[in-house]
Structure 1
Amino acid sequence: MTSLIQYDDSPPHGARGRLDDHGAIAAILEPTGVRLERWEAGATLSPDAADAEIMAAYAEDIERLKARGGYRSCDIVKMTPDHPDREAMRAKFLAEHVHDDDEVRFFVEGAGLFYIRFGGTVHALECTAGDLIVLPAGTPHWFDTGERPRFTAIRLFTTPEGWVARFTGDEIARAVPLYQGAA
């Protein structure tokens, strides 16, 4: 289930409660420029579906997004608890950063936590299967897969380089609680 916990972005970084209503969460994120939507698969997928099957199941939505956002390419990223690079991948995403491109992710299965910093608040958004998140270029954020990651996500890009981060150097990501995994 999609959820949102807001934290103060200054010490002691207190939490302001948890919200689980998808529509209310999307409305809270709207002023940040972040778009949150729900999608349904165009076909039933098996847990071990190949990338091509996943792309085919979401082809209409992918094409709609490409047309709306000018995205030119997309790929699939999968992370499992036994992935040999899970610790390195988690560490890579745990520092606050921005992109010159939108960060577009659709969660096919599993979950992960986006931390979005805006207006004195860190919005800790747990995205789960069916969630599409679009973070506008320049949005300070970080992402946590948890210690035992499990997700499959479709990523869309406007540039051929794909995921390129500029790290802010701010230590805020170390001050807010890490992701414990989907509840």
Structure 2
Amino acid sequence: MAILQLSNGKVCGNSSEIVRELALFNVQLQHYSLEAPQHWADLLAEDVLPDLEKRQILELCDRQLESLKQETSYLWSDLLVFHPGSSQLHSISTYNRYHTHKAPEALYLLSGEAIFSFIELDGQQVQLLVQPGDYVQIAAGVEHWFSPTASLEFKAVRYFTTVDGWIPQYTELGELKKLR
């Protein structure tokens, strides 16, 4: 379950309180437990997944989270696999700066942990730690950053509504607020 750290240092672990706080940023949080096959845990523990296993994971998520696809008009999804030796790890630096997206950003965490940060009007940060089973949807145009935790390990499904929706649009305002 997610954990939210408010700008005053208060840590929230109560899901209804977290959902209420995130709504102020136009961010939705839900938790879904998938009914997974027995080998699921072993599969998610692997650093590298062949394409066949990636497709199986995506198909299972699509079947069990079909209501999300219908509610939010997601057209397709892909699987992010990060670990300390990952060739994709360099790409995470594109998301750990303040940015927005033209389309909603939606992510369902399968394993590991990751952090989202959002900016309050006074420039303070609110940080959300997401854990397995957490689904986060950030509305288009919401300023935020994203990063794995220190373990540098997570697997997540990203959901897309447009081809270029996930391309970050970096914000100067966020960079200035970060320097305060």
For 1:143, give the aligned amino acid.
F
TM-score normalized with structure 1 length: 0.82
Are 2:129 and 1:126 equivalent residues in the alignment? yes
Distance 1:63-1:172 versus aligned 2 partners, 3 A rule: farther
8 Å CA contact retained: 2:58, 2:77 = no
Name the TM-score, length of structure 2 as normaliser: 0.83
Moved more, 76-85 or 137-146: 76-85
Q: CA RMSD in A?
A: 2.1
Contact 1:73–1:160 (Cα < 8 Å) also in 2: no
What secondary structure, in the 3-state scheme, does the structure 2 residue paired with 1:107 have?
strand
Task: Select which of 41, 44, 49 maps to 1:46.
Answer: 41
Which structure shows the bigger proportion of residues in helix conformation? 2
* CA deviation after TM superposition for structure 1 residue 174, in Å: 4.7
Counterpart position of 1:74: 77
Gaps of 5+ in 2: 45-52
Aligned partners of 2:99 and 2:171 also within 8 Å: yes
Which secondary structure does the structure 2 equivalent of 1:46 belong to? helix
1:36 to 25, 29, 36: 29
CA pair 64-79 structure 1, distance change in 2 beyond 3 A? same
Using the TM superposition, give the Cα deviation of residue 161 of structure 1 relative to its aligned residue in structure 2, in angstroms: 3.1
Match of 1:64 among 55, 64, 67: 67
Aligned match of 1:92: 94
- Distance in structure 2 (CA, Å) of the matches to 1:173 and 1:77: 29
- Cα-to-partner distance string for 1:127-161 (whole Å, 9 max, x where unaligned): 00000000000000001113431111011111123
**Take 2:22 and 2:168, find their aligned partners in 1: how far apart are those partners?**
22
State yes or no: 1:171 paired with 2:175: yes
Report whether the alignment pairs 1:27 with 2:20: yes
Counterpart Cα distance in 2 of 1:172 and 1:17: 24
Calculate percent identity across the aligned residue pairs: 22
- Written as runs of structure 1 = structure 2, the 5 A alignment for 1:103-118 is 103-118=105-120
Alpha-carbon shift at residue 104 of structure 1 (Å): 0.1
Q: How many residues align?
A: 168
1:94-138, Cα deviation, whole Å (9 max, x unpaired)? 110000100000001111000012433422000000000000000
Structure 1, unaligned stretches of length 5 or more? 8-14, 177-183
- Secondary structure at the aligned position of 1:66 is classed as helix
Question: Which moved further from structure 2: 123-132 or 60-69?
Answer: 60-69
Secondary structure in 2 matching 1:164: coil
What amino acid maps onto 1:123 in structure 2?
Answer: V
Q: State the distance in 1 between where 2:176 and 2:109 align.
A: 25
1 CA distance for matches of 2:43 and 2:177? Answer: 33
SS of 1:65 mapped into structure 2: helix
Higher strand share: 1
2-structure distance, mates of 1:115, 1:173: 12
